[in-house]
């Protein structure tokens, strides 16, 4: 009897090319997805169940039970979005599937467990503590000083991250939903992300990028960009740091999205401090840039790992430079696009090579993450400086106009992206 593979899937775009990774004729491949995600499910799927949200435990459990009754319990469960890793682990435990369970997932999803593992390995990390309540945050700041950062232990996409500069800011915590949190000493160094594959004992292909603005700024309405770095003095240190982090969190293969603080120190040696890591391909446009600019599919490697296959990705002899830009909606979603304008670049190759801009009249849904934003852009070039100029120029010149789905006061709002 063929293998039953269950895929928990939420993207509308083609972030993952499942039909290229899994033989849908040789296996019974079923999908649990959403109304938005169903359009990118392969037509060769054995069955599809639509749920309100893929992190809705009750709905997903019911859908999986229905699929299991028809096709048998899944032999493997695939979930590629960070928001679906927890429920995939629960499904594996509940049905006795092979693969990552909640205990093995914890160092990648629970930021307190993650920070403890990194600190135990002797890797620099901002001082941290569990933050079960306001009193714990105050006690932490009394010892380590202000400002501090408080964030959910299982948050994604900078959801619920709060910077507190003084004791008076503790009031900001009172309106947040109840959930486990961690508190850390604030670090003002630049934030980089490093993406790639850990083979189990060494780095496979990897790329380091510097954020233009920050993920937290994006939640407040600023554009978010990223440019791959080509600094020959910085990259060796970042490679050593990344290998140390990846090995500290697992001695098995995994695809990583790692974030780190990068500051200057004596001489040309950078000061590297761990921020956090995800057991997944990076979000935003990262999977597309890797496929289109570098010819490497990190999603394929992530699927191979979850199916128990050893990932095998090529390492290019020479890398081009990629980058991306996200522009938020000018009003809170859901909102409808009423117009947009993007001037032609000064010369060919000095603008985005690809973009995803909702057409006029489209409704942008209220969905978390980086897919359903105002607009998405991808860039490539021969060096970091050229790509960064294109990112900054596009952010400054692009104009998006949206109207609230239920207008309150004035209707149309015009938005020019701000990249600092």
| pLDDT at residue 267 in the model | 57
- What is the share, in percent, of the chain residues with pLDDT greater than 70? 94
Residue 219 confidence class, pLDDT cut points 50, 70, 90: low
Q: How confident is the model at residue 416 (pLDDT cuts 50, 70, 90)?
A: very low
- Alpha carbon 26 to its chain's center: 31
Per-residue CA distances from 1 to 98, 147, 239 (Å): 17, 59, 44
Task: Tell me if 183 sits within 8 A of 140, measured CB to CB.
Answer: yes
d(C-alpha 171, C-alpha 137), whole Å: 11
Task: Give the pLDDT confidence score for residue 419 in this predicted structure.
Answer: 47
Residue 216 has a pLDDT of: 67
379-399 pLDDT, tens digit per residue, is 999 999 999 999 999 999 999
pLDDT band at 412 (very low <50, low <70, confident <90, very high): very low
Q: What pTM was estimated for this model as a whole?
A: 0.91
Q: What would the mean pLDDT of 93-103 be, rounded to a whole number? A: 95
Compute the average pLDDT of residues 66-87. Answer: 97
Helix pair 57-71, 85-95: axis angle to 10 deg: 50
Q: Specify the pLDDT at position 122.
A: 98
What's the pLDDT tens digit per position in 336-376?
999 999 999 888 888 999 999 999 999 999 987 889 999 99
pLDDT of 32 > 50? The answer is yes
Helix (H) or strand (E) holding 5: strand 4-8
pLDDT in tens, 187-204: 999 999 999 999 999 999
Q: What is the structure's pLDDT at 369?
A: 82
Kindly indicate the confidence band of residue 176, based on its pLDDT and cuts at 50, 70 and 90: confident
Res 27 pLDDT > 50: yes
Q: Helix crossing, 102-109 with 111-120: angle to 10°?
A: 80
For residue range 245-297, what is the model confidence (pLDDT) as tens digits?
999 999 999 999 999 999 986 556 789 999 999 999 999 999 999 999 999 99
274 sits in which H/E element: strand 270-278
DSSP single-letter state for residue 226? E
């Amino acid at each position: 009897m063929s293998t039953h593979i269950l895929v928990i899937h939420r993207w509308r775009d083609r972030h993952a090319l499942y039909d290229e990774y899994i033989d849908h004729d040789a296996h019974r491949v079923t999908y649990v997805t959403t109304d938005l995600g169903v359009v990118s499910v392969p037509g060769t799927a054995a069955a599809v169940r639509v749920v309100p949200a893929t992190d809705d435990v009750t709905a997903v459990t019911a859908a999986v039970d229905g699929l299991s009754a028809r096709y048998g319990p899944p032999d493997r469960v695939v979930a590629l979005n960070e928001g679906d890793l927890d429920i995939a682990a629960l499904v594996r435990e509940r049905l006795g599937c092979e693969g990552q369970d909640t205990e093995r997932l914890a160092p990648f999803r629970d930021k307190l467990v993650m920070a403890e593992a990194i600190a135990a390995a002797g890797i620099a990390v901002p001082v941290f503590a569990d933050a079960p309540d306001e009193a714990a945050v105050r006690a932490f700041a009394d010892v380590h000083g202000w400002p501090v950062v408080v964030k959910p232990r299982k948050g994604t996409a900078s959801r619920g991250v709060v910077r507190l500069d003084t004791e008076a800011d503790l009031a900001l915590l009172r309106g947040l939903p109840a959930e486990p949190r961690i508190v850390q000493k604030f670090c003002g160094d630049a934030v980089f992300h490093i993406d790639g594959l850990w083979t189990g004992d060494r780095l496979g292909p990897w790329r380091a990028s510097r954020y233009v603005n920050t993920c937290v700024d994006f939640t407040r309405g600023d554009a978010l960009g990223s440019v791959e770095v080509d600094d020959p003095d910085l990259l060796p240190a970042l490679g050593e740091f990344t290998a140390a982090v990846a090995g500290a969190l697992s001695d098995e293969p995994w695809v990583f999205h790692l974030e780190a603080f990068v500051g200057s120190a004596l001489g040309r040696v950078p000061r590297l401090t761990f921020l956090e890591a995800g057991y997944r391909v990076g979000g935003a446009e990262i999977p597309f840039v890797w496929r289109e600019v570098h010819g490497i599919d990190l999603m394929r490697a992530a699927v191979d790992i979850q199916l128990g296959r050893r990932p095998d990705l090529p390492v290019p002899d020479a890398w081009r430079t990629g980058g991306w830009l996200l522009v938020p909606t000018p009003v809170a979603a859901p909102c409808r696009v009423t117009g947009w304008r993007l001037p032609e670049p000064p010369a060919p190759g000095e603008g985005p090579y690809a973009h995803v801009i909702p057409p006029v009249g489209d409704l942008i849904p209220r969905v978390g993450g980086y897919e359903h934003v105002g607009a998405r852009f991808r860039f490539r070039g021969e060096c970091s400086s050229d790509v960064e100029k294109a990112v900054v120029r596009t952010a400054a010149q692009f104009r998006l106009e949206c109207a609230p789905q239920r207008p309150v006061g004035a209707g149309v709002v015009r938005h020019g992206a701000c990249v600092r």
